[in-house]
Amino acid sequence: MFQNYLKSAFRHIKKQKIYSLITLAGLTIGMTCFVLISLYVRYEFSYDKFHSQSDHIYRVIADTSETYMGKSQVAITPAPLASAMEDELAEIIKATKVTAKKSIVTYKEERFPDTRIYYADPTFLRYLPFRLR
């Protein structure tokens, strides 16, 4: 019975070549879009989920409207913002600051220029429990 379905499908494809090509192209494009969108959504929902209480952790994003770069969103905020948010907003339980700077690192007379080093508050590891080796 399955052979009969295959035979009739191939006969239809031979008979209606353009229609079959359009249908197959649409199906391929639709399935490709579905897979790409699914992968994107999965990635977005899995972001920072390795923390024990990831549903309570937020990152502050600032909207910028620089004339030379255009409008964008960046995770760069003024340094006193974390303390001010803790003091002013009752919803904020704890806040910590992270700063990235390019530095020159020296180890046993070997220099590593342009290394990005992250500086954090002393309480950073209390709020975000990273495993250090």
pLDDT 10s digits, 100-113: 777 778 888 888 87
Per residue in 72-94, pLDDT (tens digit) is 777 778 878 888 888 898 888 88
Angle separating helix axes 2-15 and 17-45, nearest 10 degrees: 110
Helix (H) or strand (E) holding 73: strand 70-74
Q: Do 52 and 129 form a contact (C-beta atoms < 8 A)?
A: yes
* Mean pLDDT over each residue of the chain, to the nearest integer: 84
pTM: 0.52
How many whole angstroms separate alpha carbon 118 and alpha carbon 102? 9
How many whole angstroms separate alpha carbon 87 and alpha carbon 82? 9
The reported pLDDT for the residue numbered 112 is 80
The reported pLDDT for the residue numbered 52 is 76
